Amino acid sequence: MGEDDLAAAKREIREETGILDFQPIPGFRAISRYRFLRDGRPIDKEVVYFLARVPGEGVRISAEHSAAGWFSPEEAERALTYEQGRRILAGAEDYLTAGRSGGSQEQSSHKKEEEKAMEKFGFIDRALTELHEKGLYNTIRTIESPVEGWVKIEGKRVLNLCSNNYLGFANDPRLAEAAKRAIDEYGVGPGAVRSIAGTMSLHLELEEKLAHFKGTEAALSVQSGLNTNLAVIPLLMGKEDVIFTDELNHASIIDGVRLTKAQRVIYPHCDVDGLAKALEEHKDIEKKLIVTDGVFSMDGDLAPLPGIVELAEEYGAIVMVDDAHGEGVLGSHGRGIVDHFGLHDRVDIECGTMSKAFGVMGGYIAGPAKVIEYLRQRARPFLFSSAATPADVAACIAAVDILEKTDEPVRKLWENAEYFKSSLQELGFDTGHSETPITPVMLGEAKTAWDFSKRLFEEGVFATAIAFPTVPRGKARIRVMLSAAHTRDDLDFAIDAFAKVGRELGVIGR
């Protein structure tokens, strides 16, 4: 290490770590500058300097202070976990500080306690390292602006093709104004669970409007879409019962089913014949539940709801649909998949989220009044967790009111979806079998998808790669989520970026 490098390292070490001085050790050289992760996020200001042997192209982190192993220099930054980085930094202090002693007894004791705590959670270090090694570690980008057609990420303005903000309501001034008024009138929080401290009139107003919007007798609002499935399924189904669930149902449905002691039958994806066979095999069980996503979020395909309903009526089964990606998208004025197929009064329970097309936060369950009342009395997410905030509820009410009055946002969403899909198909991209604005751009291998997403971001387009285990191996894709917030110019910008990157990576012809 040259004198200039040494001086620069000393200066930055003093600024970033408080280490006053260090001396190079023969056989080692300083490796810098690597960030490490805290809570999955890179920390730019916490720079790790350490001394490491450099055999060939690999970097060996000092074995006394890290189990991180071998990394190429370019891999080290993304591979180091927070705890590994801390151990490296601790080792760097020992190596780099000239004449450093073992420290005070108090410091030594504290260090031992830290090491013991790290050993206790060593399994987490191993799990995180494995995620890195398999290319499955999810680095979450930080958004520095409202969620709209364009967003600011790490100082860069990019076109947002990742959001579920289907109708552009997430930063709609009408929703924002409703939220502000609610804070002025009701404050910022509900105070406690509704079953103990009472319910705000806002929550009742939202539930009444949701029931009318969905065409059901009643509705119940809860904290999230995930909580709807955790509320309904374990309450309705017991150990003597059987649940039929599509193999590609959302994780929240899977978790809801697991919380019951009921028998579980997983039928092939959207396979009505397979479901019929399963129902026939279990026809003697009195209580049966068929639960399905309305729109499947990875491929954008629809559940064969008419066929499912016919089978349910034949075998006396309850039908429950999670319409998280259908509301605000399908049906008249975005009323959802039940309205889309004209199945009102034939689907027993609808549930969904207020965080996608409605642009806010929360979940709802809609169905017969007796079911909703039973949920009020016994559903654990309702009984043991506080309700949504007044601001969230008021914004949700505003979103429902807008859709009751106009279907313009829904029509704009579909215009954008049809234009974008047809344009990509003309370029030679495979956009799967989606029947909704969810547009999977099929790429096959995970590495291709990750490389494609990275290049798109460099071109100013934020579109996430989806790979195993979220989708099957060999089915990696860029999942494009279109919005009514996008203009035609926005879509043309995205199409040009897809064309450029697709040709560079050999996905489409030149």
pLDDT digit string (tens) for 285-307? 999 999 999 999 999 999 999 99
In this structure, are 352 and 415 located in the same domain? no
pTM of the model: 0.77
Mean pLDDT on 332-356: 97
Is residue 41 over pLDDT 50? no
Residue 438 shares a structural domain with residue 370? no
Say which DSSP state 324 is in: T
The CATH code of the domain that includes 215 is 3.40.640.10
Distance CA 416, CA 486 (A): 7
Q: How many CB atoms within 10 Å of residue 281?
A: 11
Does residue 47 carry a pLDDT above 60?
no
Claim to verify: residue 53 and residue 192 sit in the same structural domain: no
251 in Cβ contact with 233 (< 8 Å): no
Question: Does residue 202 lie within any of the structural domains?
Answer: yes
Q: Residue 141 falls within a domain, yes or no?
A: no
To the nearest whole percent, how much of the chain has pLDDT over 70?
A: 76
CA distance 484 to 166: 6
Helix axes 305-315, 272-281, angle to 10 degrees: 10
Same domain, 369 and 423: no
Instruction: Indicate if 418 and 286 belong to the same structural domain.
Output: no
Shared domain for 307 and 414, answered yes or no, is: no
Residue 298 lies in a domain: yes
Whether residue 463 sits in one domain with residue 370: no
Residue (of 396, 401, 395, 484) closest to 176 by Cα position: 395
Q: What is the pLDDT of residues 312-326, one digit of tens each?
A: 999 999 999 999 999
Determine the Cα–Cα distance for residues 474 and 45; give it in Å rounded to an integer. 38
Q: Which residues are catalytic?
A: 297, 325, 356
User: Are 423 and 484 members of one domain?
Assistant: yes
| pLDDT at 114 exceeding the cut of 80 | no
> Are 400 and 308 in the same domain?
yes
306 and 429 assigned to the same domain: no
Q: Taking a C-beta distance cutoff of 8 angstroms, is the pair 315, 309 a contact?
A: no
Task: Give Cβ neighbours of residue 314 (< 8 Å, ≥ 6 apart).
Answer: 279
The answer to whether residue 388 sits within a structural domain is yes
Q: How many domains does the chain have?
A: 3
Count Cα atoms within 13 angstroms, Cβ side, for 325.
25
Q: For 52-64, how does the pLDDT look when each residue is reduced to its tens digit (9 = 90+)? A: 333 333 333 333 3
Residue 84 lies in a domain: yes
Asked if the structure places residue 191 within a domain, the reply is yes
Supply the range of the domain harboring residue 453.
150-169+408-504
CA angle 48, 50, 56 (to 5 degrees): 115
Exposure letters 397-425 (e unless 16+ CB within 10 A, then b)? bbbbebbeeebebbebbbebbebbbebbe
* Residue 30, Ramachandran bin (φ over 0: left; ψ between -120 and 50: alpha; else beta): beta
Cα 244 to Cα 320: distance, rounded to the nearest angstrom: 10
- Residue 372 is which amino acid? I
438-444, strands of its sheet edge to edge: 438-444, 476-481, 465-466
Residue 426 belongs to a domain with what CATH number?
A: 3.90.1150.10
Which two structure tokens, joined as six digits, stand for 338?
A: 């039940």
Q: How many CB atoms lie within 10 A of CB 426?
A: 10
Pairing of strands 363-367, 438-444: unpaired
Report how far apart the first and last C-alpha atoms of the chain are (Å, whole number): 47
* Six token digits for residue 55: 């055999």
pLDDT in tens, 198-248: 899 999 999 999 999 999 999 999 999 999 999 999 999 999 999 999 999
Residue 510 lies in a domain: no
Residue 313 burial (CB < 10 Å; 0-12/13-18/19+)?
Answer: exposed
User: Rounded to whole angstroms, how far apart are CA atoms 250 and 469?
Assistant: 13
- Does some domain include residue 392? yes
Q: Are residues 215 and 341 in the same domain?
A: yes
What are φ and ψ of residue 132, in 5° steps? -60, -45
- 232 and 311 fall within a common domain: yes
